Structure 1
Amino acid sequence: MTTIALVTAISATGHDEDLPPLQSACERAGLTARALAWDDASVGWGRMGAALLRSPWDYTERLPEFMAWCERTAHAVPLLNPLPVIRWNTDKHYLADLAAVGIPVVPTEFVEPDAEPMEALQRFLAAHDAAEFVVKPAVSAGARDTQRYQRSQEFAAGNHLARLLDAGRSALLQPYLPAVDADGETALIHIDGRYSHAIRKGALLKIGDTSPLDPHAFGDIRNREPAEDERRLADQVLAAASRLLKLEQPLLYARIDLLRGADGAPRLLELELTEPSLFFAQAPEAADRLAQALLARLADGTVRTRTDIG
């Protein structure tokens, strides 16, 4: 029986609620699935049939180390999603690439480490009349180091931005879209290039709350039926990403997080292709869809099958 590695991290042990249902789904599909940490030096990755990235959630704090692991592992075993996708998607500069080809993204200004933080912030505030805004790192997950500010909190926001830049981290500034407080985000999950299900994520960022967020928290999660304009935008985002990355087959998994702008139209907040939670608790059948899609790729040779696993 082929063994699939469900890649997590030592620090994420016990926090990924998707792993147990996905392991069960793989077993039903005739695959053995083992949850293995990318930062566990004892793992022999070359003995796996494929390495499916699921919850390596500490990569944002260890990106060079994680990318070096990805490079090594991709030579030993098929990595899913594949290495070029991971290189592109682990840094939110991908939003600029998508905006450049016409995808409506949440307005985003990038600030690089050599910039003067207060000057960059003042330019952003002059260009956007939003009552509130967000400062976040370009490499982040789970709202780590992300904070919501009012315009009157320019000094605090500037200090936050300066801390990120002084640490050599690129940052981004975005208007805070009020629709998230009323309606939350819509996260559309696609498996093997096809729509699977969607959930509503409640707002995580609270004004005036500077306490660190639990990196494994997702807020208020509920099932949601996406609107037609959200379905269309999700399809457009995935098509654009495939063109930019010159992919020869659909992404095995993707999560497209959308918010509605002031005009009521959906905009892309994030495209999660590396380690997104897929919320199998809200759609248990989706775990079987992912396992079957993986099995199909193994069967048709898209992913190399290993049968010599001890």
Structure 2
Amino acid sequence: MTDHHQPARGKPRVALVTCTELLDLEADDRLVIDPLAAHGVAAEPAVWDDPAVDWARYDLVVLRSPWDYMSRRDEFVAWAARVPRLVNPADVVRWNTDKRYLDELSAAGVPTVPTGWVLPGQPWQPPADHGEYVIKPSISAGSQDTGRYDLADSEHRELAVAHVRRLGAAGRVTMIQPYLTAVDTDGETALLYLAGPQGLAFSHAIRKGPMLAGPDLGTDGLYKVEEISPRTAAADQLAVAERTLATVPGGPQRLLYARVDLIPGPDGTPVLVELELTEPSLFLGYAHGAPERLAEAIRTHLRRP
């Protein structure tokens, strides 16, 4: 019997997993296709919930832009568990698609944004202090269903309660975090890691500008446009990223990619906002050689048994 995972049978085939809204992939993801082709690897988009796709025909299935799964997370996680040669692995997908993983990272000593949780049906009132807060669902992407509230404003307080109630009515867990004002000046730093022969290695970093201008009124689209620019990672940011990645269940050596999103905390030291291991934008177009490094990371996983 021929093992369909052996590249010796012919040109290796890689699925780049996307959604129906991005049938031809997100523009940044397309940058890896030519570098893979230059090494004899055929890569093509495949929609995660398309029943016509035979996932077993691929030597590797790479999660890229399945950005419509948030309202069907259980279905998505079940699909991931059925797909052979999926990266990142299905158990990581299950763990990482619900942001309650932040509690685990915090307990492990990773500096994270303080986060509270409101379960569906649980009553909630805004805290008495008059700071700014971010409210969003624990399963989300691209700042969808996310709002920023100034609790010194009585209207914002009412809108914050309505936001939590709206998410709870939809059966969604709400997460509530203080708004870190450094994002308005320093922005958010995303550190990108890609697989190499010795495991995950730092590739590049970018700056994301502030995205949240005010309350969420329940009219968001699929995702919001981000203001992106290249950035040089600082030593303290790299240290937090390495500490974060060391806590990933099963270890970081299994991962194809990782994105660690950081913001300066009140004292200026970096704190984790999110650890993106499922379908992060990798911002390949913002760093010289990044598409080639992702192609090599994919080839590294193709060579694994």
- After TM superposition, the score normalised by the length of structure 1 is 0.88
Match of 1:199 in 2: 206
1:3 CA drift (Å): 0.3
1:228 CA drift (Å): 1.0
CA distance in 2, matches of 1:9, 1:40: 9
Matches within 5 A, 1:31-46: 31-46=41-56
SS in 1 for 2:65: coil
CA distance in 2, matches of 1:216, 1:34: 23
1:144 CA drift (Å): 0.7
Match of 1:131 in 2: 131
Give aligned pairs, total: 288
1:186 aligns with 2:169: no
CA distance in 2, matches of 1:136, 1:248: 27
Give 1:17's match in structure 2, choosing from 20, 27, 49: 27
Cα-Cα RMSD:
1.6
Check whether the contact 2:132–2:150 (CA below 8 A) recurs between aligned residues.
Answer: yes
1:299 CA drift (Å): 2.1
SS in 1 for 2:50: coil
Give 1:117's match in structure 2, choosing from 99, 114, 124: 124
Give 2:177's match in structure 1, choosing from 174, 178, 184: 174
Check whether the contact 2:24–2:45 (CA below 8 A) recurs between aligned residues.
Answer: no
CA distance in 2, matches of 1:2, 1:235: 32
1:36 CA drift (Å): 0.6
1:14 CA drift (Å): 4.8
Unaligned runs of 5+ in 1: 302-310
CA distance in 2, matches of 1:25, 1:63: 32
| Cα deviation digits, residues 152-193 of structure 1 (max 9, x gap) | 221110010011011110010000111011111000000011
1:230 aligns with 2:272: no
Partner amino acid, structure 2, of 1:260: P
Match of 1:290 in 2: 294
Match of 2:87 in 1: 80
Match of 2:260 in 1: 256
SS in 2 for 1:281: helix
Fraction of identical pairs, as percent: 44
SS in 2 for 1:91: coil
CA distance in 2, matches of 1:29, 1:216: 33
299 and 95 in structure 1: CA distance in 2 versus 1, 3 angstrom threshold: same
1:52 aligns with 2:62: yes
Check whether the contact 1:229–1:266 (CA below 8 A) recurs between aligned residues.
Answer: yes
SS in 2 for 1:54: strand
Match of 1:246 in 2: 250
Partner amino acid, structure 1, of 2:213: K
- After TM superposition, the score normalised by the length of structure 2 is 0.90
1:248 CA drift (Å): 7.3
Partner amino acid, structure 1, of 2:183: V
209 and 110 in structure 1: CA distance in 2 versus 1, 3 angstrom threshold: closer
Check whether the contact 1:201–1:218 (CA below 8 A) recurs between aligned residues.
Answer: no
Partner amino acid, structure 2, of 1:38: W
130 and 23 in structure 1: CA distance in 2 versus 1, 3 angstrom threshold: farther
SS in 2 for 1:197: strand
CA distance in 2, matches of 1:130, 1:31: 55
1:221 CA drift (Å): 0.3
Deviating 4+ runs (over 6 angstroms): none
Choose between structure 1 and 2 for higher RCO, CA contacts under 8 A separated by at least 6 residues.
1
1:97 CA drift (Å): 0.6
1:211 CA drift (Å): 7.3
Match of 2:147 in 1: 147
Check whether the contact 1:130–1:175 (CA below 8 A) recurs between aligned residues.
Answer: no
1:52 CA drift (Å): 0.3
SS in 1 for 2:253: coil
1:131 CA drift (Å): 2.0
